[in-house]
Amino acid sequence: MERDIFENISPLDGRYYRGSVGLSNQLAGYLSENALIRYEARVEVALVSVMERHGIVASGAGREMLDAYKRITPEEVYKEEEKTHHNIRALVNVLQRYVSPDVAPFVHLGATSEDITATAQSLRLRDVFFTVVIPKCLDFTDSLLEIAEKEAATPQIGRTHGQHAVPITVGYFFSGYADRFGGRLLKMADAAEDLRGKLSGAVGAYNATSLLCPDPRGFEEEVLSELGLKPADFSSQIVEPEYLLDLVHAVLSAFGVLAQISDDIRNLQRTEIGEMGERFEKGQVGSSTMPHKRNPWNFEHVKSMWKEFVPRMITRYHDQISEHQRDLTNSASGRFVPEIIAAFVLSCDRLLRQFEKLVIDYEGIETNLRKTEGMFLAEPLYILLASKGVASAHEEVKQITLRAQAENKSILEIARSLESLKDVSDSEIWKALEKDPASYTGASEARTHEICAKWQERLSVLRKKVAAYKAEL
């Protein structure tokens, strides 16, 4: 059923699809309705294969199912659903057409629809994480680490409340993003790996499979293991919702780190701040009539997407409740989960592209650092004085800063002139700070390297896991 994508109402399948066709198609390979049907068919294959191994169905049945799986098309299934008004029944009917009469009665036998759907859902989500989401996040974390390492020693004014505080380095600030995002990435990987399937029947009590084999829980484990999954610790008609819930939480909390990054960079790109920003190609202008404009629109876009998707967590919490052995009120809503993943990956990719060409305005950074003429050295002045046991250190420095403002002098100048500060102002530490106030960056550089090294190692472990996973597919 073809349709002009611009007739779609969803921005993800309309405007934003067009802006990212390659990645969107990759995602659709797992997250679309077509993909779901293919995954569901794979679960049906696994079920019959294990039945064969148990002697429930004739030998060769698994092989027949695998062939059938390759021959059916989603179109056929959709057409059949028009008759059955039931998607899994439609799939079963179509599969039965492609197997022998001996095998046909055994297709889907012992399973309830949700056994197939829930298992397929876990399978495709795990796959999309290990083949698309995690690799993209690894690349993104790499881009953060790269900037962090490169700028580990570039001083920059630290800001709290939007006000100048004391200096950090550009690299340190990126190492913090990497640390937070990396942490979320590990959470996502763990949660994706822990997605579960089920084959426990209509109410989760293995009623039907108990009739087919003596150890229905073992049978369930065997079928799921064919697909590389484990069964839920408990299931009613549905898999316990908390496995998926934890994954969505991991995704949305990772999205939050993207939002923080976006906010920070677009603030640093303000006309008055001008420390970094999106690259503009030679000749490109921000607005036809306002050439001074450099709109951080990609960062704004990511913030906006985050705003749109975060509240959807509430629906996930609400989907934890499914009355008794299940009601259907988590079904339609559950179908919107893939959009969250798509929006996150598209946003991550967008930032990645920005960071590959991020403009850092070193001159702007330095201008801002110097803006208060070292006023931030009040902090080390106070620390040094107090650490010599001067009880009035705090008040003394406060008076100096007030004088600096009143007399429009630099704090350095005044500090140097005071006899009472001689011990401090003659110390090596103070002399170094006097010479280069911007060097007051604490452990920024050292910590940047430590954090980067830690993450290089952690990411390398995750990369190996991803490679192993892909090799198995």
List the interface residues with its own copies, window 15-34 (CB under 8 A): 15-18, 24-25, 27-28, 31-34
Residue listed under structure tokens 């640093």: 268
Told to check if 397 binds its own copies by CB under 8 A, we report yes
CA distance 315 to 309: 11
Q: Is 287 a catalytic residue?
A: yes
The verdict on 307 binding its own copies (CB under 8 A) reads: yes
Catalytic-labelled residue, pool 59, 85, 161, 292: 161
Instruction: Report the nearest approach of its own copies to the CB of residue 226 (Å).
Output: 20
Of 333 and 468, the one with the shorter C-beta distance to its own copies is 333
Please state, in angstroms and rounded to a whole number, the distance separating the CA atoms of residues 396 and 465. 58
Q: DSSP letter at 469?
A: H
Contact 275, 361 (CB under 8 A): yes
Judged by CB under 8 A, the residue of 66, 153, 212, 359 near its own copies is: 212
- Closer Cβ to its own copies, 317 or 468, answer by number: 317
Question: Quick check: is 161 catalytic?
Answer: yes
Residue from 99, 447, 452, 462 in contact with its own copies (CB under 8 A): 447
Question: Of residues 50, 393, 412, 452, which one binds its own copies by CB under 8 A?
Answer: 393
Tell me how far apart the alpha carbons of residues 231 and 224 are, in angstroms, rounded to a whole number.
7
Which of 10, 100, 287, 460 does the annotation list as catalytic?
287
Least Å from the CB of residue 322 to its own copies: 7
Report 63-82 residues binding its own copies (CB under 8 A): 74, 78
Quick one: which of 170, 342, 348, 365 contacts its own copies (CB under 8 A)?
A: 342
Residues 221-280 close enough to bind its own copies by CB under 8 A: 233-237, 240, 242, 245-246, 249, 252-253, 256-257, 259-260, 263-264, 266-267, 269-273
- 101 vs 471, which CB is nearer to its own copies? 101
Nearest Cα neighbor of 121 from 16, 224, 14, 233 is 224
Residues 6+ apart with CB under 8 A from 269: 275, 276, 277, 278, 294, 296, 299
Q: Is 288 among the residues that bind its own copies (CB under 8 A)? A: yes
Stretch that binds its own copies, among 64-72, 116-124, 130-138, 312-320 (CB under 8 A): 312-320
Structure tokens at 274: 């001008």
Task: Please identify, among the stretches 11-19, 39-47, 64-72, 412-420, the one whose residues bind its own copies according to the rule CB under 8 A.
Answer: 11-19
- CB-wise, 58 or 468, nearer to its own copies? 58
- Please report whether residue 190 would count as binding its own copies according to CB under 8 A: no
Which residues in 177-273 belong to E strands, given as ranges? 196-197, 230-231
| Shorter beta-carbon distance to its own copies: residue 131 or 260 | 260
Compose the 346-365 pattern: x for residues touching its own copies by CB under 8 A, - for all others.
Answer: --------------------
In the complex with its own copies, the residue whose CB is nearer, 16 or 130, is 16
Residue 471 beta carbon to its own copies: minimum distance, rounded to whole angstroms: 27
Residue 375 binds to its own copies (criterion: CB under 8 A): yes
Residue 127: strand, helix, or coil: helix
Q: 48 with 106: CB under 8 angstroms?
A: yes
Give the C-alpha separation, 5 to 32, whole Å.
14
Identify whether the C-beta of residue 224 lies closer than 8 Å to the C-beta of residue 42: no
**Cα dist from 176 to 50, 169, 180, whole Å:** 49, 11, 6
CB 170, min distance to its own copies, A? 12
- Residue closer to its own copies by CB (options 289, 472) is 289
Rounded CA-CA distance 291/103 in Å is: 71
CA–CA distance, 103 with 454 (Å, rounded to integer): 54
Shortest distance (Å) from residue 183 CB to its own copies = 6
The site that binds its own copies (CB under 8 A) totals a number of residues, namely 181
Q: Does 370 bind its own copies (CB under 8 A)?
A: no
Other beta carbons within 10 angstroms of residue 341's beta carbon come to 22
* Contact stretch for its own copies (CB under 8 A) within 61-69, 222-230, 351-359, 366-374: 366-374
At residue 252, φ and ψ (nearest 5 deg) are: -70, -30
- Asked if residues 360 and 170 have their Cβ atoms less than 8 Å apart, the reply is yes
* Residue ranges in 400-439 that form contacts with its own copies under rule CB under 8 A: 401-402, 404-405, 429
In 3D, which of 285, 265, 286 has the Cα closest to residue 277? 265
Q: Which of residues 124-153 bind its own copies (CB under 8 A)?
A: none
Contact positions with its own copies (CB under 8 A) in 150-179 = 158-169, 172-173, 175-176, 179
Question: Among residues 74 and 135, whose Cβ is nearest to its own copies?
Answer: 74
| Helix, coil or strand: residue 45 | helix
Contacts of 368 (CB under 8 A, 6+ apart): 156, 157, 164, 273, 275
Burial class (CB in 10 A: 0-12, 13-18, 19+), 53: middle
Binding of its own copies at residue 344 (CB under 8 A)?
A: no
Residues in the chain: 473
Q: What are the residue numbers of the active site?
A: 161, 287
